[in-house]
Amino acid sequence: MAVNLKGRSFLTLLDFTPHEIRYLLDLSHDLKAKKRAGVHEQMLKNKNVVLLFEKTSTRTRCAFEVACHDEGASVTFLDSSSSQMGKKESLEDTAKVLGRFFDGIEYRGFDQDVVELLAKHSGVPVFNGLTDEYHPTQMLADMMTIEEKFGKLKGINFTYMGDARNNMGNSLMIACAKLGLNFTACAPKELWPTDELVAKCKKIASESDCTITLTEDVKEGTTNADVIYTDIWVSMGEPPEVWETRIKLLSKYQVNSDAMKNAKKDAIFMHCLPSFHDTNTKVGEDIAKKFGINEMEVTDEVFRCKQSVVFDEAENRMHSIKAVLVSMMS
C-alpha cells in the first residue's frame, strides 16, 4: 500500500499507523545513506520553514536547520522573546499569519494543545519539536538507531528507566507499541504514565504482538533488556524545587554498570540528551554542591562505554527530521 504523508502534521506518533512510521524510518535510512554518499536532491527547494522555540534546544533546532539547508529550504528562527506569539497576539492569529508566509512550522514548547492549535489554524504542516507531553521526532531517531544496531525492531526488549510520565516516557511507550518492541517502564509508581495512555498503548501493543510492562523493580525491569534508555530527571519547564524529591525517587533507577550487567550482553545504552552524567554543566555542578551527587540518571562510566550509542542517536535526529520534512512538505 502506497504511503502519502504530504500535507500531514507530525504532532504525536499516535496519529500515525505502523505502516506510515515504517515509511518514515525507511526514508530516514535512505536520506542518511544519500548524505554520506554526497547525493543532494534539494527536495525542499523554494520552501520556507519557521522554527518556534519556547524552550531551549541544541539538537532539535540544529537538526531542523541542517535538514532544511541540505534540502534547499530557507529557515526562520523565532524564540519567545523575539516574537509576539502568546503575548501580544493569540495563537490562532499567529498560526493564520505564519501559514501565509511559510510552508511548514516547527514548534517546541509546553502544552500539546499549542501544536494542535497551530496545526488547526495555520493550514500548513506543523512539526512537534517537543512539548510537555510528547517528543515524536526524537522517536524516529531512536527507532532508526535501534534498527542500525540490531537490524530489527520487532521483539526487541526495551527498558526505559526514570521519569516514565514525561514527554520521553510517553513517546517511547507509544513508539514501542506501534513498532512491536516489548516496552518496560522501570520507575517509581509516582512517575508512571497515566492509566489512560497505558491502556491505549496496551491495545496498540496487542495489535503489534508486543508487551507493555510497568515495574518498580530494577532487577525485573533490566533483566534481559536489549536497550536501556533514560532521560534527565527534571524536564524543561519544571520548577527547580522538584529536584530534591526527584533525586530521592529516582536515584535507584540510575543507569549504572549493575543495570547494564542485568541486561543482555550486547545491550545498548540510549539517551535523548542532554544528559547529566558528570559535573561539567552548570546544573550538574549546582546539584553536586546541593545534594552531593556527581552523576544523575546515568553514570559517566555507562555514558562513555562501548555500549552507549547516544551520539549516533543525536546524529540520526537530523536524518529523521529531514524525512519528516521531505515527506510532509515536498
Considering only the stretches 26-34, 53-61, 75-83, 213-221, report the one whose residues sit in contact with ligand CP under the rule CB under 6 A: 53-61
62 binds ligand NVA (CB under 6 A): no
Known catalytic residue at 84:
no
Stretch that binds ligand CP, among 1-9, 56-64, 238-246, 251-259 (CB under 6 A): 56-64
User: Which entry of ligand CP, ligand NVA, none binds 58, CB below 5 to 8 A by partner kind?
Assistant: ligand CP
Q: Is 294 one of the binding residues for ligand NVA (CB under 6 A)? A: no
Q: Among 114, 232, 259, 268, which residue sits at the site for ligand NVA (rule: CB under 6 A)? A: 232
CA–CA dist 174, 154 (Å, integer):
14
Which of 59, 61, 317, 319 is flagged as catalytic?
317
If DSSP codes are grouped into helix, strand and coil, which group holds residue 157?
Answer: strand
Q: Does 140 bind ligand NVA (CB under 6 A)?
A: no
From the list 9, 297, 229, the residue with the least C-alpha distance to 129 is 9
Cβ 138 to ligand CP shortest distance, Å: 5
Written as nine digits, the cell of 315 is: 546524529
| Angle, CA 146 vertex, CA 42 and CA 302 arms, to 5° | 120
Residue type, 306: K
Site string for ligand CP, 244-283 (x = CB under 6 A): ----------------------------xx----------
Q: Please indicate whether residue 271 is annotated as part of the active site.
A: no
Smaller CB separation from ligand CP, 101 or 311: 311
Instruction: Respond yes or no: is residue 317 known to be catalytic.
Output: yes
Per CB under 6 A, 201 contacts ligand NVA: no
Pairing state between β 227-230 and 212-215: unpaired
User: Residue 272 Cβ, how far from ligand NVA at the closest point, in Å?
Assistant: 5
Active site residue 36: no
- 59 binding ligand CP? (CB under 6 A): yes
In the complex with ligand NVA, the residue whose CB is nearer, 47 or 165, is 165
Residues 130, 162 contacting (CB under 8 angstroms) = no
* CA within 13 Å, CB half, 251: 9
The whole-angstrom separation of Cα 296 and Cα 308 is: 16
DSSP E strands, the chain = 48-53, 74-79, 104-108, 126-128, 157-161, 182-186, 212-215, 227-230, 268-271
Return the DSSP state at 150.
H
* Binding-site ranges for ligand NVA (CB under 6 A): 130, 166-168, 231-232, 235-236, 272
Q: Supply the residues annotated as catalytic.
A: 108, 135, 138, 231, 272, 317
